């Protein structure tokens, strides 16, 4: 699953610099996450860094975009310009 930022966001600016994929940007009213770039930090960190630093816990799994850890890792490899090992 990709992550989403709810309307409880207080625009504190702490999540954006933590995202290794530059998936977080300022939206019209609050920060937003690009699901095409969000890997939930798979390939980079054990935990989603934006979730870890959010002071109001407004970053949640997007129920409309279901992805397995394997799919998130493949997205990470694509974004990193690497190919998945064939098996």
Residue with tokens 């930022």, as numbered in its chain: 5
Q: Is 18 part of a structural domain of the chain? A: yes
Q: How many domains, the chain?
A: 1
Q: Is 19 part of a structural domain of the chain? A: yes
Q: Look up the CATH number of the domain holding residue 74.
A: 3.30.70.20
**pTM assigned to the model:** 0.89
Per-residue model confidence as pLDDT tens digits over 17-70: 999 999 999 999 999 999 999 999 999 999 999 999 999 999 999 999 999 999
Contact 14, 54 (CB under 8 A): yes
Confidence category of residue 84, pLDDT binned at 50, 70, 90:
low
Query: H-type helices in 25-86, by residue range?
Result: 49-53, 69-79
Q: Is 87 part of a structural domain of the chain? A: no
Neighbours of 49 (CB within 10 A): 20
Q: Does residue 38 sit in helix, strand or coil? A: coil
Contact 23, 15 (CB under 8 A): no
Per-residue model confidence as pLDDT tens digits over 69-79: 999 999 999 99
Per-residue model confidence as pLDDT tens digits over 9-19: 999 999 999 99
Beta bridge partners of 59: 5
The CA-based dihedral angle spanning residues 50, 25, 40, 82, taken in that order and rounded to the nearest 10 degrees: -130
């Amino acid at each position: 699953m990709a992550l989403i930022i709810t309307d409880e966001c207080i625009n504190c600016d702490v999540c954006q610099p933590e995202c290794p994929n530059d998936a977080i940007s300022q939206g019209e009213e609050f920060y937003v996450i690009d699901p095409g770039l969000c890997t939930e930090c798979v390939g980079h960190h054990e935990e989603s860094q934006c979730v870890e630093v959010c002071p109001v816990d407004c970053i949640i799994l997007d129920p409309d975009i279901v992805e397995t850890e394997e799919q998130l890792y493949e997205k990470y490899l694509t974004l990193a310009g690497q190919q998945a090992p064939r098996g």
